[in-house]
Amino acid sequence: MEFNEHIYARFEHLKEICRMHWDEPALSRLDEAFRFVHNAIGDQKFQTGEHILTHSLDVAAIIAGEIGLEPNSVITGMLHNIMYAGLERKVLREEIEHHFGQSIFNILEGMAKINALGTDTVELHAENYRNLLIALAGDVRVILIKTADRLQVMRNLDVYAPDARRRLVVETSHLYAPLAHRLGLYAVNSELQDLCLKYQNSEGYKYIIARLKETETERENFVAEFVKPLEKKLQEKDFRFSMKARTKSIFSIWNKMQKQKVSFDEVMDLFAIRVILDSKPENEKTDCWTVYSIVTDQYQANPERMRDWITIPKSNGYESLHATVMGPQGRWVEVQIRTRRMDDVAEKGLAAHWKYKGGKASSGFDGWLAGIREILENPELNVVDFIDHFRMDIYRDEIFAFTPKGDLKKMPAGSTILDFAYEIHSHLGDKCVGGMVNGKKVTLKYKLKNGDQVSIETSNNQKPKMDWLDFLITSKAKNRVRASLNEEKKILAAQGREILIRKFKNWKMELNDEVIRKILKKYEFKLAIDFYCELASGKINPLEVKALLAEKPEEENARSRMEELLPSKTLQEFTFDGGDDYLVIDNNLKNINHKLARCCNPVFGDPVFGFVTISDGIKIHRNNCPNAPQMKERFPYRIIKAKWKDTISPGAFLTTLHISGVDEAGIVTDVSHIIAKDTGAKLRSINIDSNRGKFEGVLKLSVYNIDHLEFLIHKMKKVKGVVSVTRGET
Which of 79, 69, 147 minimizes the C-alpha distance to 109? 79
In a domain, 515, yes or no: yes
Where does a domain end: 644, 661, 684? 644
Examine the domain organization and report whether 423 and 512 are in the same domain.
Answer: no
Which CATH number covers residue 37? Answer: 1.10.3210.10
pTM: 0.50
Residue 296 lies in a domain: yes
What is the CATH number for 683? Answer: 3.30.70.260
Is there a single domain that holds both residue 183 and residue 221?
Answer: no
> Is residue 154 located within the same domain as residue 93?
yes
How many domains does the chain fold into? 6
271-277 vs 307-308, strand pairing mode:
unpaired
How does the average pLDDT of the chain come out, rounded? 81
pLDDT band at 587 (very low <50, low <70, confident <90, very high): low
Q: For residue 697, what is the enclosing H or E element?
A: strand 694-703
Structural domain includes residue 379 = no
* 205 found inside a domain: no
Same domain for 525 and 587, yes or no, is: no
Same domain (yes/no): 76, 104: yes
Q: What is the pLDDT of residue 383?
A: 34
Whether residue 274 lies inside any domain: the answer is yes
Does the residue 547 lie in any domain? no
Residue 129 has pLDDT above 60, yes or no: no
- 14 and 119, same domain (yes or no): yes
Three-class DSSP category at 515: helix
**Domain end residue (candidates: 497, 515, 539):** 539
176-180, 267-271, 696-700 — which is least confidently predicted?
A: 267-271
Instruction: Please state the φ and ψ torsions of residue 346, each to the nearest 5 degrees.
Output: -65, -35
User: What are all long-range contacts of 720-725, with beta carbons under 8 Å and residues at least 24 apart?
Assistant: 720/664, 720/667, 720/670, 721/661, 721/662, 721/663, 721/664, 721/667, 722/659, 722/660, 722/661, 722/667, 722/671, 723/660, 723/661, 723/662, 724/658, 724/659, 724/660, 724/661, 725/657, 725/658, 725/659
Q: Are residues 216 and 338 in the same domain?
A: yes
Residue 325 lies in a domain: yes
Q: pLDDT, tens digit, for every residue of 175-214?
A: 888 878 777 677 888 999 999 999 999 999 999 999 989 8
- Among the three residues 307, 325, 348, which one is the final residue of a domain in this structure? 348
The mean-pLDDT minimum among 425-434, 489-498, 683-692 falls in 683-692
Q: Report if residue 438 sits inside a domain.
A: yes
Q: Is the pLDDT of residue 352 over 60?
A: no
Residue 416 has a pLDDT of 95
Are 68 and 151 part of one and the same domain?
Answer: yes
Same domain, 104 and 195: yes
Percent of the chain with pLDDT over 90: 25
- Give the pLDDT confidence score for residue 691 in this predicted structure: 82
Q: Give per-residue pLDDT as tens, 353-368.
A: 545 554 443 444 455 4
Compute the C-alpha angle 598/602/604, nearest 5°: 145
The CATH number assigned to the domain holding 264 equals 3.30.460.10
Task: Assess whether 182 and 222 both reside in one domain.
Answer: no
End-to-end CA distance of the chain: 92
Three-class DSSP category at 650: coil
- Residue range of the domain that includes 626: 553-644
Same domain, residue pair 583 and 693: no
Q: Are residues 169 and 24 in the same domain?
A: yes
